[in-house]
Amino acid sequence: MSTAAAAVIVHRKGYPKKKRLMYKELQELPKSYNVIALSKMTKVRASQLMLLRKKFRNDIKIRIIKNQVARRAFENVQGVAGLEHLSKELEGQCALMFTNISPFKLNLIFGQNKIFLAAKGGDVATKEIVIPAGNTGIAPGPVLSEFKVANVQTKIDQGTIWVNKDTVVAKPGDVISTQLASLMSKLNIKPIEAGIAVNFAIAEGLMFTEADLKIDLEEYRNELVRSFQQALALATEVGYATAETIKPMLAKAHQHARSLAAESGYLTPETAGLVLPRAQSKAQAVAGEAKKKGYSAQ
């Protein structure tokens, strides 16, 4: 569609003003920021979106869009690589984020602002769900059948239902039944993780999928520590002097010098504790061999 044709469609009489403004804005924002991120609004609460908008209003422009309006707007944006691929990802209710923050950092920011929701029948467990042992505070009644269906052992004590032991009621990938969802709701267990995630992003001509942007910070930190330790050990071994290796290099050289002095019998105040015991041990060994051959020490 040409720019002129699109303009006619957007400005024609009766076309909603809100869509006309969105169309215009979606042609301007991609040129103003280095990163454009797409998020599918599955299980995202309005309160979450409002909080993020308020918290990052100076750094992230968040826009809930109409997919067709966005596609038409992007067709007329020149000089922003990857927009055509982003347009293909627009399905369902979507939000676009315009920012100069790295898409990796953006995904981490959103990950730190997730919430947990009560489960509904048909939801899929993303991790192991456990009903903990202890007093539920619920009075005996029809709910006991829900515990039984979920294979949760209970007892009645002091007028309330107690769970006998921690019980796994769902594993990752399991579909949560309506009955189990009802039971967890009564127990105030909220196992469904909800929040914004970056499903697709373009940054300075590069494209990133959701899988590309997932970072295990703990594993990343551990890998950095392992790499540093291996580099330090290698540099120390080859004698490459730096601020980090000078101390272990001197300690290693000192240890080698002590071992060499002890082996060669070089006696100093520092090596006496090593040389004399070794000399005594060798003398005792020689005396033992001499005794075997009939010689005796005088």
Which two tokens mark 70? 């966005």
**Gap between the Cα atoms of 106 and 51, Å rounded:** 15
Give the CA count within 13 Å in the CB-facing half-sphere of 186.
Answer: 19
> For residue 41, which phi and psi values (nearest 5 degrees)?
-85, 45
> For residue 259, which phi and psi values (nearest 5 degrees)?
-65, -40
**Gap between the Cα atoms of 85 and 154, Å rounded:** 54
pLDDT category of residue 14 using cuts at 50, 70 and 90: low
Neighbours of 26 (CB within 10 A): 24
Q: Which residue has the tokens 């399905």?
A: 91
**Gap between the Cα atoms of 146 and 144, Å rounded:** 5
Is residue 15 scored above 80 in pLDDT?
no
**For the segment 41-96, what is each residue's pLDDT rounded down to a tens digit?**
876 767 677 878 888 888 999 999 999 999 999 998 988 888 999 999 999 889 99
Q: What phi-psi label fits residue 188: left (phi over 0), alpha (psi between -120 and 50 degrees) or beta?
A: left
Task: Find the DSSP H helices in the chain.
Answer: 3-11, 17-32, 46-55, 67-75, 83-88, 103-111, 143-149, 178-186, 210-213, 217-238, 246-264, 272-292
Give the residue-averaged pLDDT of 277-283: 79
- Under 8 Å CB-to-CB from 166, ≥6 apart: which residues? 130, 131, 132, 133
User: What pLDDT score does 298 carry?
Assistant: 57
User: What pLDDT score does 3 carry?
Assistant: 47
**Gap between the Cα atoms of 226 and 180, Å rounded:** 44
**Gap between the Cα atoms of 146 and 140, Å rounded:** 11
Give the residue-averaged pLDDT of 2-6: 46
